[in-house]
Chain A
C-alpha cells in the first residue's frame, strides 16, 4: 500500500481554503441577500454547472452560468433563504468541496433546513462554481 500524503503544504492550502471559503460565503450571501446576480463572479464563463436541487429547485442537470443565475433568481422571487452556514470544507489542488446548511422557506412556503454541497474549481485566479447539490432531509 502506498501512503499518500496530501499534496501542497498547509500554508498554501490555508490560503486556497480561505479563498474557497470566501467564494462559498459569497454564494451564501447571494442567497440570504436575495440577490442572484451576486453569484455572477463565481460562475464560470465556459462550460456548464451541475445542479441537483430539490427545495431550491427542483432542478437536476447541467446549466449555463446565466441559466443558473436565472434559476436562483426564480427561486428567490418566490422563496427565501434565511441563513447559510458552512459546515465543512475540503480543498485539494484545484478542487474545493464545501458543505453548507441553509435555512429556507421554499416556493410552497415550507420551512426547511437543507444541506447544500458546493463544488468549486480554481482556474488559478478565482474559484468557480461547478456544482450545487442539495441534500434533502
Chain B
C-alpha cells in the first residue's frame, strides 16, 4: 500500500514535470515577449553600425593586400596579409607602371582604373562588371613609381558570394534587407580622380542615394567615397515579441517531445492496456504538438526543418521536412516498441491474440516503411541513392536516419511476431534476439532500397515523358514563345524607364543583364540579345553560345510593329548551317520609338535546355540564379536525333545506338527500350516526330551500381544507427562502463576485434591507396586529355595564322607580312574543329574568344593568369593545365603557346574544359564503385574469417570457462574432449585430471561431512559452533532438545546468545556463556525445569582457532547432568546408608547379647525382677530393635534390590496390595479403586508391593481425620506405559517439600528415617519405571508410578 502511494506520488511528480517544464518555457517566452513589446525600436543607424564596422574592416584587409604586394611579391601578398573576411575572394594582384601597364601579376587582376593613375587617387573603388561586383584596392606609387592593385570578387546577391557572410556572418539578416554596391566609376565619372570633386559630388550623390523608403544607409570609405548603400529594416517590438512567442511555443513542444522519454519507464508502463494506450496517445500528441508549433522549421536549419530538400504536403505534413520525417519515424519506432512490450505482456495469457496484434503492427509498420520510402523517392530534391548528397547537404542524413528507424521498428515487430508465432518464450517476444532482428532487417532493407531504386528509375522515366519529351517534340514552339516573351519583356522593361535590373551602370553590360533577367537565360537557351538605339546602332550585345552574326544589320525601330516580330534565319557561313529564330520589338517611350530590342535563339536540336554542354556556363553566368548547380543534381538525359534513314543528326553521347527496328517499334507504341551507347546501358524513350526520331536516353543503373548503392545505404544507415545508439549509451548512466565491459568481458569479442583490426585496417589502407591511385590516374588522364586539346587548338590557331599570312606593303615589324589577327568569329569557327571553346591571349590580355560571354558578363577578367604568363611566356613551358574558378565551380583550362614567330607579341591559346572532368570522374566513380564493392566484400570476408578464427580459438577457452562454471556449480562429472593435438589438448587433459581429482576429494569430503552430521545428529550431547561474531554455524538436534527449543527456533546464522536470551528460562545459560570461559574447564549451569525442578547443564566451550591462530569462533558442548548428579548423589547416599547400617549393626549384637547377659546375671543374682531395672533393660532391647530396623532400612536403601521379575497383571497386583486395607477399613477413610484394562507388566511383586504399600501408608497418614484413598490403574497408550496411582485427599504438600520428597533422609515426620519414598523411587526405577508426584496443599497428593509394558523394550 505504501509502495503504491510512493509510486503514485512519483508518477504525479513526473507528470507535473512533463507539463510544468514546457509551460515554464512557454511562460518565460511570453514574459520576454511582453518585455520586448515595451522596448523601443532601435534606430537604423544603430542597426547599421555593425555593418559599417564590418565594411571598414573589409576595406582595410583589401588595402593590406595591395600594400603587401607593393612591399614584396604579388604571389605572396595574399598570404602575407593574412586575410580573414576576404579569404578566398582574391581575383588577382598586380604591379603596374605609371602608365598602367602590368609589370607582374598573380592570378587575373583587372586593369587599373584611370582614377588610380591620378596624382591623388582613391584607395578603393567598386566595379560592377556584369554579375561581378569587384572591390579594388590600389596603393602607391612607391619609389619606383609602381602601383599595386588587388581585386576581390564580392557580391551581395550571387549564390557563390554573399557579402553579408563575408563581412560578418553574425550580422542579423532580418535587419539588413539588402546591400547594394555602387560602381564608383559610373557614380563619380571623371571626378573620381580629384579629391575635391569627389567631395563635392559625394554630397550631392549622398542626398540622392540615401533617398528611398526606408532611407538607405551609405557605405563609404574613410576617404569619403561612396561605395554602396544598405537597406536597413527596423525590427519592431511587435515583430520581436511575435518571434519570441512562436519560438517559445516551438521550444515548449520540443521539450514536451523529449521529456516523456527521460521521465517515464515506458518499458514498464506499456505492459498494461492502459499504459500502452497512454504511450500511443502521448506519441500522437507529441507529434501533433511538434507539427502545430512548426518546431522543425522554426528551430532548425532550413535544409533540416523545411521542405527544401525533402517534404510532402501529403499525410497531414507528417513527412513535411527531413526533421518531420525523423519525428514521424521515431513515433513509429517507439509505437512499435510499445506494441512489442504490450504484446509481450498480453502473451502471458493470450498468446494467439498477442501474435496477431504484433503481426498486424508489423504489417502496418511495413506499410509505413513503404510509404516513407516512396515519399523519399518522389519528394526529395536530391536523389537519396547518391551518397555524395550526404556530405553536401544536412538533410539526407536525417532522412536516412528516419528511414532506418522505420525499418528498425518494422524489423523489431516482425522479430517479435516470429518469436510468438513459432511458440517462443515471452521474454523473446518482448525483446527479440538481435540476430532475429538483424535477419528481419536485411530483407526489409533490400526491399526498401529496391523500391527506392525502382521508384527512382520509374520517376526518371516519368520525367523523360512529362518534362523532356515535350521539350524535344515542341522544341521550336518552345523557343518561339520563349523568344517572343523575352523580347517583349525586355522591350517593356526599357520602355518603362526601368533601370536595368542589376547594379551596373555600364551600358556594355546592359544587354547581358537584361538577357540574364529574361526567359532566354532562365530557360537556358543558346541565344543573344541586342539593344539598338533609334538610329539602329547596336549599343549593347550579349550572346550565349551565339555570336553576333548580323553585325551590319541596322533595324529600324520606327517602322517596327509593336508586337514582337518573329522569323527564322540562316546565319551560318559556308556549309555550316545556323538556323536561328529572330524576334525584334521597338522600345517605346512616351509614344515614340527610342530604340529596338533584337533577340535570337539558335533553332537547332543542340539548343535544348537540358543539353549538358550548356549547364556549367549557365550556372556560372547566373551565379546561382535560375539554372544553377541543382540542374546537375538530376542527371540530364542524353539525346540523339535520327533522320528517316537512321543517320545521326545530333547526339550528346559518343557512339550513339544505331536506329533499329526495335527503336522504331518502341516509338510507335510510345514505349521505352533498353539501348547501349558508348559501352553504357540506357533506358531509351524514342519519339517519332515526322521524318525524325528523337531518342532520349537515361543511364540505367548497372547491377554493380545498384549493389553499390544498396551497400552504401545499408552501411550508412547502420553507421548512423550505431552512432546514435553508441551516443545514447555513452550518455546513459554507467553506459560507457557497460560498453567497455561488453567488449572487454569477452575473449571472443576481443580476439575477433583484434583480428578484424589487424586485417581490416591494412585492407582499408590498401583500398584508400588504390582509390587515391585510381583518382590520380584519372586526373592524369584528364590532364593528358587537356594537353591534347590544347595541342589541337594550338595547331589549329597556328595553321590558321599560317594560312592567312599574306604579304603586305608596310607593316610594323618590317617583315612585309601581316602579323596575323584573330577575332571571335574565327575562334567560333575553329571550335568546331577542336570540339572545345578557345580563348587566345596576346601579351597577357584577351584577344579573341569563342566564348566571349564569359568575359562580357564580367565573370572572367580579360587577363591571362599570372602563373601562365610567368611559366609559359617567360620560362617557355610547352603546356600548362590549371584549375580556374568558373562562378561557384571550377573548370580545367589547358594553355599552350602559339608558335608563330612572325607575329607580334606572345600568343597563348587556352582551352576551357567543363564537361571532360565530369566524364572522367564518372569513369573513375565507376571504377571506384567496383573498388567499394570489392573492399566491402573483402571486409565482409575478413569479418567472417575473423569470426570463424576467433570462434575456433575461443571455443576451447569458452568450453573451459563453461566446464569450470559447471564444476563450480557442483557438477564434478563435467569432462572436456578435444580433437586437437596441440597445447589446448594438454590443457583439456589437465582440466579433466583436475576435475577427477576434485571429484574424488569432493566425494571424500562429502563422506566425512555426512559422517560428522550423523555423529552430531545422533549425539546426545548438544553441540553448537559459532563464528567470531557469535553467529551459529552448525547445531545439532540434541542441543535444541536439551534447551527445550524447537528446531526452527535455533538455526545457523542466528546469533546464539541473543537468540537464547529471548527465552527467560535460559537466562542463566546466557549469563554463563557471556562470561569469559576459563580454558576448557566445563561449567555447570542450573536451569529451572518445568516441574519446578532444577536441571543442570554442563557446558564446555572450546575456542576454534584458524591455522594462523586467530579465533574464528567457538564450539559449545552441553550435557544435561541432572540425572547424573542425582545418580551420583544417590550412590553417595547409598554408600553412607550402607556404612551407617554396618556401623550400627555391628555394635547392636554385642549390646543385645551383653544386655541379655546382664539380664540373666541380674536375674541369677536376684536383682531382678526389679521394675526399674527391667524397664531399663526393656528400653535397651527396644532401642536395639529400633536401631536394627533403622539399620535394616539403611541396608535396604543401600542395596539395590535384586529383582525377580515376572509378568503380572497390574490390576490384579493392585487389588492384591490394596486387599488388606479394603478389608481392614481404616477409620474414616474411604477406599476407591479404579481399574482399567491394561497390558501385563513385568514386576517383582514383593519389591513393588512394598513400594505401593509405602505409598498407601503415607496416604493414610496424610489423612488423620479421614478422607478418600483412591487407587487406580490405567494405561498411557502413547507412552506404552501402565500407570499405578495412589491418591489421597489429605493435607497435601508444600512445593518445597514436594521438591525434596524423594531425597533420602528427608522427612516431614518426627519419627522415621526419611528413606521410605527414596526406597520407593529406587524400587520403581529398578523396574525401569518412574514415579511422579502432584500435590496441592489442603487438597491432597497423588503418586503415579509409570511402568513399561511387558512387551516394551524398556521392560
Interface of A toward B, CB cutoff 8 Å: 1-4, 6-7, 36-37, 40, 44, 46-48, 52, 57, 59-64, 66-67, 69-71, 73-74, 77-78, 87-88, 90-97, 99, 108-110, 117, 121, 130, 133, 135-137
Contacts and interface: CB of A to CB of B under 8 A. Distances in A.
A7 B306 CA distance: 43
A85 B1268 CA distance: 138
B964 to A, nearest CB: 63
7 pairs of A and B residues whose beta carbons are closest in the complex: A47-B466, A61-B630, A92-B481, A69-B313, A70-B307, A70-B311, A66-B312
B568 A108 contact: no
B314 A109 contact: no
B381 A97 contact: no
B519 interface: yes
Interface string B309-321: 0111110010011
26 contacts: A2-B567, A4-B568, A47-B465, A47-B466, A48-B463, A52-B626, A60-B159, A60-B628, A61-B631, A66-B312, A66-B313, A67-B311, A67-B312, A70-B311, A71-B307, A74-B311, A74-B320, A77-B294, A90-B485, A90-B488, A95-B478, A97-B485, A109-B233, A110-B177, A117-B519, A130-B467
Contact of B481 (A71, A77, A97): A97
B1163 interface: no
A60 B1047 CA distance: 90
B477 interface: yes
B1333 to A, nearest CB: 108
How many chain B residues sit at the interface, stated as a range, is 35 or more
Given A67-B311, A91-B481, A62 B630 contact: yes
Nearest to B580: A1
Contact of A92 (B462, B477, B522): B477
B467 A47 contact: yes
A93 B471 CA distance: 12
A80 to B, nearest CB: 13
Nearest to B630: A61
A46 B570 CA distance: 37
A130 B471 CA distance: 11
Contact of A36 (B313, B378, B581, B626): B313
A78 B462 CA distance: 33
B489 interface: yes
A66 B484 CA distance: 32
Interface in B618-633: 624-626, 628, 630-631, 633
Interface string B141-181: 00000000000000001010000000000000110010000
Contact of B489 (A2, A6, A46, A88): A88
A3 B463 CA distance: 33
Given A97-B482, A117-B519, A135-B501, A37 B568 contact: no
Contacts of B470: 94-95, 121
- A interface majority secondary structure: mixed
Most buried by A among B294, B308, B321: B308
Nearest to A2: B568
B164 to A, nearest CB: 12
B569 interface: yes
Contacts, number: 155
Given A4-B567, A74-B307, A77-B297, A108 B481 contact: no
Most buried by B among A67, A73, A91, A130: A67
Nearest to A36: B313
A51 to B, nearest CB: 9
A88 B492 contact: yes
Nearest to B485: A90
B481 A67 contact: no
A74 B363 CA distance: 32
Given A94-B470, A130-B467, A71 B311 contact: yes
B691 to A, nearest CB: 18
Contacts of B570: 1
Interface string B458-492: 00001101110010001001101110110011001
A106 to B, nearest CB: 9
Contacts of A95: 470, 474, 477-478, 481
Contacts of B819: none
Given A3-B567, A117-B519, 10 more contacts: A2-B569, A36-B313, A40-B313, A67-B312, A67-B313, A70-B313, A74-B297, A92-B477, A109-B239, A137-B501
A66 B481 contact: no
A60 B630 contact: yes
A4 B566 contact: yes
A60 B317 contact: no
A71 B294 CA distance: 13
Contacts of B239: 109
B568 A1 contact: yes
Contact of B480 (A4, A36, A47): A4
B522 A94 contact: no
A71 B625 CA distance: 19
A129 B634 CA distance: 19
Contacts of B488: 88, 90
Nearest to A93: B477
A3 B567 CA distance: 5
A3 B568 contact: yes
Interface in B260-309: 294, 297, 306-308
A2 B1344 CA distance: 153
Contact of A61 (B320, B478, B633): B633
Contact of B522 (A71, A110, A133, A137): A133
A97 B519 contact: yes
Most buried by A among B306, B312, B321, B569: B306
Contacts of B466: 44, 46-47
Contacts of B310: 67
B480 to A, nearest CB: 6
A32 to B, nearest CB: 19
Contacts of A109: 174, 233, 235, 239
B517 interface: yes
Contacts of B294: 77
B379 interface: yes
B630 A64 contact: no
Interface in B488-506: 488-489, 492, 501
A88 B313 contact: no
A135 B517 contact: yes
A137 to B, nearest CB: 6
B553 to A, nearest CB: 12
Nearest to B476: A4
Interface string B505-522: 000000000000101001
Contacts of B568: 1-4
A46 B313 contact: no
A54 to B, nearest CB: 8
A95 B631 CA distance: 21
Given A97-B482, A109-B235, A67 B379 contact: yes
Contact of A70 (B312, B484, B501, B519): B312
A123 to B, nearest CB: 8
Contacts of A78: 297
B464 to A, nearest CB: 9
A66 to B, nearest CB: 4
Contact of B477 (A7, A61, A110): A7
